[in-house]
A and B are shown apart, each in its own frame.
Chain A
Amino acid sequence: MSSAILFKDIDEPGLGTLAVYQRRGGYGDVLRKGLSMPREALVNELVESGLRGRGGAGFSMGKKASFMPKGGMDKYLVCNADESEPGTFKDRELMTKSPHMLIEGMILAAYAAGATKSFIYIRGEYAQQADILDAAVAEAYADGLLGENILGFDFSLELVVHRGAGAYICGEETGLLDSLEGKRGNPRLKPPFPANQGLYQGPTLINNVETLMTIPHILGMGAAKYAEIGVENSTGTKLISVSGHVKRPGNYEIELGMSAREIIYGLCGGIEGDHEVKLWFPGGSSSPVLTSDDLDLGYDFDSLAKAGSMLGSGAIIVVDDQTSVVEVCLKLAKFYRHESCGKCTPCREGTQWTVKMLERMKSGTATPMDLDIMASVQEQITGHCLCVLGDAMAMPVGSMIAKFRPEFEEYIEAARERAERELVASLDAGLVGSAT
């Protein structure tokens, strides 16, 4: 693909080794250029590139770095490699194939933020990727690319790869920080934001793997040139993870702004069995669903927000018209119920009640009124939680009810009739049985 930046050499054999990465230009002029710039100039470059966070919230990377206070206290950089938003698998690919690109991005980000200690918080399930990172970090230390006075510059950085142990909520940045401090991964109240009080109470910059890996490329081509790629407010390329009922699930690097139709029908070859799209999640399971009417939307931050959803982590999950929306909704609700950390009531109880009501619908014991109750539960969760995990269930569930209400109603009715028939049949069988 012509737009490939992060994926340019991705399948090059041995790219994960220092030797090949350096031969491809890694840890070279770009890193030297970055480390010889004044910090503020580097931050400015990042702001001007328009790079927005690739982890979910889409906040300006450069602005976030600029919030880091000046001063001599210990400051930290944390790379969020928890990647547990359902449907997302791009960071896995990047870390598997190009671990040194992440290290180089982190050196530059740490320099911009004034951080001297850095961590990669990687989900424990990615043990294979964590081993790859461990090996790459050891290589980088041995070559003087991490540790004291990197490349002879007056800048030093420690990097520790930290493995989680399985909890979606540790992708939320403050839950991640508690987990990294050796605690249960409960999110913290914000403010204070991590830039002021993060890891070990120190100023902390947290960014996603893909965000950090983009930095060397921005510096390499220049912010202005990078900002020309993509569309307004959504500059650059984005790795998207496409899964579900498409013919070719996988990671694709696109220029932001490409239409969803081009992605689903072009890159991914259309829908399995040539069925139609019923619904799609544009940004992981936490994004409100869109339908086949929305396929001509540009895949960028603003267009998706305008359509009532979000780009999120860049994970497109496609569901075909053969699949029941209620079943998808139940899967989704069960996930959030399992992952709720339990700290706040609307999220802990709301996820539980949503599952219960969906199970009632499935077993044929729900009434049409339950649908309204379920919708109102979602409204009561939204905006009333400590972190956005609650909203992350309420928004997609709410959007499914809003967009597919007739299907929910038919499903409830059909399940109720089926349950009644079964009851009658079992009563009949019971009567016959007792008579003989």
Chain B
Amino acid sequence: MSHGTQEEPAPTGDLTLGQHVGSGEVPRYQGGSRTPGWDDAVDLTKDPAVIPDPATVHVPEELRAEIEAHMAKYPDERSAAIPALMAAQRRHVWCSPEAIEQVACVMRLTPGYLVAVASFYDMLETSPVGRHRVYVCTNISCSLRGADALLERVVEEVGDDPDFNVRSFECLGACDIAPMASVDDVYVGPVELDDVPALIGQVRSGAEVLPEKQILRRKSVDPNAGSTS
């Protein structure tokens, strides 16, 4: 299956596919403009959320320390917004209202500001997801080598397991191992359709994923470069 874009079923490169919740409800901006929820109704009877009061918000000590360490690295503390949201997400699995409130409390920013930041970035989740991230690249080079079929196969294998966050992703910068996936930050490829059960099984059991197909184990220089074999 090396010619993914030739297949008859419609390519499913949309973020609406898979277990990923929360996208696709807004046809006009679907997948575009990085403004999901632009037409969500706002409750005008409520006052805008202010910077949380440290006396009433409980922030886990480790998380606070991690966020403060990030803030200390920059000339302007606000630069720590993304690392802080990432840290909170690692703890809460997604940028839940609670996660946002904790970051806002430590960084002395409004929750609204942080939600605006979080909604811009693909790796920050603004609606509930499973904790294992499986990003299947469906950009051009991977789709030329069967990425769409791979994504379908992964979605099928995962089924309705709530522990997974399977989504199609734009080019992950590893087209040399196309079709590929990033599984909880570990890059693997080329992933054959037959590798999928093992891969998902390894994630479920906490084992290393496809060890022989991890990108860090590859040599940079192809020993066969230039040969015509």
Tell me the A residues contacting B by CB distance below 8 Å.
Answer: 1, 4, 7, 10-11, 74, 83-89, 91-93, 96-97, 117, 123-128, 160, 162-169, 179-185, 200, 241, 243-245, 248-252, 266-270, 272-273, 281, 285, 315, 317, 319-320, 322-324, 327-328, 330-332, 334-335, 337-342, 348, 351-352, 362
Contact = CB atoms under 8 A, between A and B. Distances in A.
A340 B32 contact: yes
Nearest to A179: B82
Given A128-B186, A182-B117, A249-B175, 13 more contacts: A1-B221, A89-B173, A92-B173, A125-B123, A162-B82, A164-B121, A166-B123, A185-B121, A267-B226, A328-B144, A337-B32, A338-B15, A352-B28
B169 to A, nearest CB: 8
B32 A352 contact: yes
B176 A266 contact: no
B130 interface: no
Given A125-B172, A241-B176, A184 B123 contact: no
Nearest to B141: A243
Given A86-B139, A182-B78, A339-B170, A127 B185 contact: yes
B119 to A, nearest CB: 8
Contact of A248 (B80, B83, B177, B224): B224
Nearest to A132: B216
B220 to A, nearest CB: 4
Given A267-B225, A331-B13, A339-B170, A250 B176 contact: yes
20 contacts: A11-B219, A86-B170, A97-B220, A125-B135, A163-B82, A163-B83, A165-B86, A181-B78, A182-B78, A182-B79, A243-B176, A243-B178, A248-B222, A250-B225, A317-B140, A330-B11, A334-B14, A334-B31, A338-B32, A352-B29
Given A334-B31, A340-B32, A342-B35, A165 B121 contact: yes
A339 B169 CA distance: 11
B164 interface: no
B221 A11 contact: yes
A258 to B, nearest CB: 11
Given A163-B83, A323-B5, A339-B170, A10 B176 contact: no
Interface string B199-229: 0000000000000000110011110111111
Contacts of A96: 215-216, 220
B59 interface: no
A4 B225 CA distance: 13
Contacts of A342: 29, 32-35
B149 to A, nearest CB: 14
A89 B175 contact: yes
B144 A323 contact: yes
Contact of B176 (A123, A179, A180, A251): A251
Contact of B122 (A93, A167, A250): A167
